[in-house]
Structure 1
Amino acid sequence: MSSPTPAPAPTSAADTTSGVDLSFVASVVDWLQANIMQIIGAFAVLVIGLLIASVLSRAAERALKKHPRFDPTIAELLSKMVKYALWAVVLVTVLSQFGVQTASILAALGGMALAVGLALQGTLSNVASGVMILVQRPFVVGEAISVDRFTATVQRIGLFTTELKQFDGLFVMVPNSELWNQPIINLHRHPTRRIELIVGIGYGDSMKDARETLLALAAADERALDDPEPQAFVASLDDSSVGIGLRVWCATGDYMALSWDLTEAAKAAFDDKGISIPFPQREVTMVSAA
């Protein structure tokens, strides 16, 4: 009589788990063996691409900082843009090593960039204006400018805003787009400036004496330049006075002080010579009824 066949031993949970782990490891090893060349190529592209991006961005920053028309801020910004653009190229190249269709990824990134650009339209406008200000350099830090309703000294130029300090000491922060889209008068860009002083004298006073007096004041002040030479002239014939003008060139730094001093000296000199500076006058004729 044959003995009964023993029943197979039940498989333990540990053996099942071990079998799953071994099969997963085996599949990973098989995938690595099948794609080892693509992995090596992608790793090489990644490393070399990042190194090239770093080297080129630093080289671009050094070259831009040496150029006199590029501010250090804009040089740093452009170098970062070069680096990020190269990173994007490296990423697309690495993905293509594994057969990933990069066209759809690029299309998605383009759509995202468009959406972000529309959402940040005002902010990007300030950034674009800041870049143009830093490149074109209509003003630099330390120069005084007059734009819109502000006349102030430039304290800082950023990518989004420009910080100004008014002559009365008040702090002003102006968006770059507002500065770039309006005429800018730079009060300190040129080394010399012209002062034009107009003083009204009475119709009964000598215009020649008034002109000679103003020219003598300009000649006596060493801040007044000889070239171009000062000019005195009859500027206007007003209702109650004759406008006598004086044009004097001076160094830009002396403009305000010399303008104030010439105005005060003109009043004192006219008083000494008996040249009147009349008040507005009106003649009233009374007509009696017949």
Structure 2
Amino acid sequence: MDLQEITDELVLIVTQYGLDVIGALVILLIGYIVSKRVPTMLTNIMNKRGIDPTVSGFLGSLTRFVILAITLLLVLAQFGVQTASLIAVLGAAGLAIGLALQGTLSNVAGGVMLLIFRPMKVGQYVEVAGHGGTVKSISLFTTELATPDNVQVIIPNGSVWGSAIRNISFHPTRRMDLVMGIAYEDDIDKARDIMLRLIEADERSHKDPAPLVEIAELADSSVNFTVRVWCDSGNYFPLKFALTKAIKQAFDKEGISIPYPQRDVHLIKQD
């Protein structure tokens, strides 16, 4: 085969397949752009209409994967591949693919279950699969949390749905529990009155249910009070920190001691 024949063959190949390649590249580019913009637009529209961010984020993620799948089918069709036959082949191979991708499919199923039952929403603080943090997003495959120190945690949806979910933000109110110990020599009624007065003085503490301050234990080194106060969920930690500090300062001022563990050792001298 001489140079002229090789050139003619290359021209024929470029003529036959060049337009297909260019068309496929254009379809890929358009599909990629659409898969980025349409889910974002859809999510923004749903958020403006008051739809839960958890639902809008999940549907946006699902829309992106659907667009990418359609783009792939269009590219194959551009090269003359019979997409109907391809879909039939993929359907026949579905069992094998499902067995090979059990983890991935379980994550998708977990995401669907999280969307249907909605045990947690974007913005809520949860403890799940050994991690605690604020829910940032729930996508088709994963759930994203942000820890209190702002560290990103990505958990597969299968693990999220397969474990206990402790939703700290689900109820609007929470009960705060403290254990305060005083010395055996101190006046227990006086200590109780001081703690009740401090609780009632803080506007963040609820009057109903009423706060509880009662002796719970006669421990080795102290008389321990159980302090239970109801408050709004958002005020839980600020109130806990404030009351702990206020009780300590009031006890110091009133001469009530908070003992530390101690032991009396008696030495017996033998001849």
TM-score by length of 1: 0.64
CA drift at 1:109: 5.2
What CA distance in whole angstroms lies between the structure 2 residues aligned with 1:289 and 1:121? 74
One-letter code of the match for 2:191?
A
Match for 2:258 among 272, 277, 280?
277
Contact kept in structure 2, 1:145 and 1:184, CA below 8 Å: yes
Alignment of 1:180-195 (within 5 A): 180-195=161-176
1:208 matched to 2:211? The reply is no
CA deviations 1:251-274 (Å, max 9, x no partner) are 111111000000000100111111
Establish whether residue 111 from structure 1 lines up as the match of residue 95 from structure 2: no
Secondary structure at 1:204 match in 2: coil
Unaligned runs of 5+ in 1: 1-61, 85-104
Aligned length: 206
Report the Cα distance in structure 2 between the residues aligned to 1:116 and 1:66, rounded to whole angstroms: 38
Among the aligned pairs, what percent are the same residue?
Answer: 46
Mapping 1:34-183, distance limit 5 Å: 71-72=55-56, 77=62, 110-183=91-164
Distance 1:162 1:246 in 2: 36
Q: Answer 1 or 2: higher relative contact order, Cα 8 Å, separation at least 6.
A: 2
Give the partner amino acid of 2:176. Answer: I
Alignment check: 8 A CA contact 1:195 1:247 kept: yes
Question: 1-side partners of 2:201 and 2:212: how far apart?
Answer: 14
- Contact 2:175–2:231 (8 Å) recurs in 1: yes
Q: Equivalent residue for 2:230?
A: 249
Displacement, 1:108?
A: 5.7
Q: Deviations over 1:83-102 (max 9, x none)?
A: x9xxxxxxxxxxxxxxxxxx
Cα distance change on mapping 1:147 and 1:75 into 2, 3 Å: closer
Q: Closer, same or farther in 2 for the Cα pair 1:170/1:241, shift >3 Å?
A: same
Shift of 1:107: 8.5
Offset of residue 66 of structure 1: 9.9
Tell me the amino acid that sits aligned with residue 217 of structure 1: L
- The one-letter code of the counterpart of 1:72 is S
Conserved in 2, the CA contact under 8 Å of 1:207 and 1:244?
A: no
Runs of 4+ in 1 over 4 A off after TM superposition: 65-68, 73-78, 105-110
Tell me, in whole angstroms, the C-alpha distance in 1 between the residues paired with 2:141 and 2:237: 32
**8 A Cα contact 1:156 1:162, kept in partner:** yes
Secondary structure class of the residue paired with 2:93: helix
Task: Say if 1:262 and 1:270 are closer, same or farther in 2 by CA, change over 3 A.
Answer: same
Q: Find the residue that maps to 1:71 and give its secondary structure.
A: helix
Amino acid at match of 1:175: P
The alignment's C-alpha RMSD in Å is 2.8
Matched residue, 2:247: 266
Aligned to 1:25: none
Q: Give SS of 2:215's match.
A: strand
In structure 1, distance between residues paired with 2:178 and 2:56: 41
Larger Rg: 1
2-side partners of 1:73 and 1:272: how far apart? 54
Q: 1:149 to 1:109 in 2, by over 3 A?
A: closer
Per-residue deviation, residues 11-47 of structure 1 (Å, max 9, x unmatched): xxxxxxxxxxxxxxxxxxxxxxxxxxxxxxxxxxxxx
Residues of 1 paired with 2:129 and 2:87: CA distance?
43
Q: 1:120: Cα distance to partner?
A: 0.7
Query: Separation in 2 of the partners of 1:148 and 1:110?
Result: 34
2:209 maps to 228
